Amino acid sequence: MIAFVTEGGNDIGMGHYIRCFGIAESLAAQGEDICFIIPPDADGSFPESTGFDTHMLQKSPASGWDVDEVCALLRKLNISTVIADSYRLDNDDLGHIRNVCRIIFLDDLDTYDCNVDAVINFTPGADEDKYLVADVPGREVYAGAEFYPLRREFEGKRKPDLRKNVRTVLLTSGSTDPYECVLFILKEIGPDLYRDISFVVLVGRYYLEEYKDKLSVFCGSHKNVSLHAWGNCISDELAKADIIITPGSSTVMEGLSLNVPCIIYEFADNQHETVKWLEGSKMAASFGRLPVGENDACVRKVFDAELDQRVRLYRSSVYSGAFDGKGLNRVTDIIRRRIY
């Protein structure tokens, strides 16, 4: 059996859950038995809703993980392989798990000395050579955007071409927006200046009610702004857009894989390297770190530039080579090779 040791919730969002579920779904389709192991402060409703067996730990140390309890559960369940995806598992924790069973670590924080059997870092620009310097015995390394595990629901939805005129702009911050970045961006752009464009806001799972009220008020005063709850088939929402405005998170990699140009920004430290690399590679324009001061003309300036079809076609020509949508198959093959 394969266990995903991961987490998600209000404080850290849903990124770990979403990518782990995509991989789990693919492995299950190939006959593998799957379960999830999550810490007690995680939101257990999502992994439970997927239909996979979900085991919530009982002990609540400050780190979020009691690795002794994890290892005891791994033995009890007779787990052969762990897929670990958590920022709160340190190198000692990974080593303890490795003493019980094989462990593959999904790393997007460049943890170069991680003591695991294999590490997969699908962050754009991830450098395999930096892992090799640590010289962890027996460890395999897979690094780069070609390993991003795009979920099965995205298959067959890549857009063949880009419209001349932008009609729909999708704005998201992911499952949470603690700094109200989406509202800030909307105000800076000024939807009334673009009456031929529909602005669609994906309301995240953990948005505070007060914040949702603010967005509703803004939406009510602008006829071309609408709010959509984050649904089960996010690929359909992304595929409808001509431009996606998103943090440097999973959504930007999903959008580019669908051939939808993106404007990116960051509000959390773990988004910085993705934003920096995509902007530096000319794959996406960036608003930078948000929120910023009230008098920031750069948001509208960047937005206006990306409306030009020539700019979007250029972006597409650059990012299409890196985001081919085949990362899930590559990751699944890596995991199954390690099992057998």
Structure tokens at 155: 């298959």
Q: Are 241 and 6 in contact (CB under 8 A)?
A: no
pLDDT of residue 31: 93
Domains of the chain, CATH where assigned: 2-150+325-339 (3.40.50.11190), 154-319 (3.40.50.2000)
pLDDT of residue 198: 98
pLDDT of residue 16: 87
Q: CA-CA-CA-CA torsion for 283, 10, 202, 327, nearest 10 degrees?
A: 40
- Provide the H-helix boundaries in the chain: 15-29, 45-49, 67-77, 91-98, 128-134, 181-189, 209-220, 234-240, 250-257, 272-280, 298-306, 309-319, 327-339
Structure tokens at 306: 């990306």
pLDDT of residue 232: 67
**pLDDT below 50 — which residues of the chain?**
none
pLDDT of residue 8: 85
Taking the model in full, what pTM does it have? 0.87
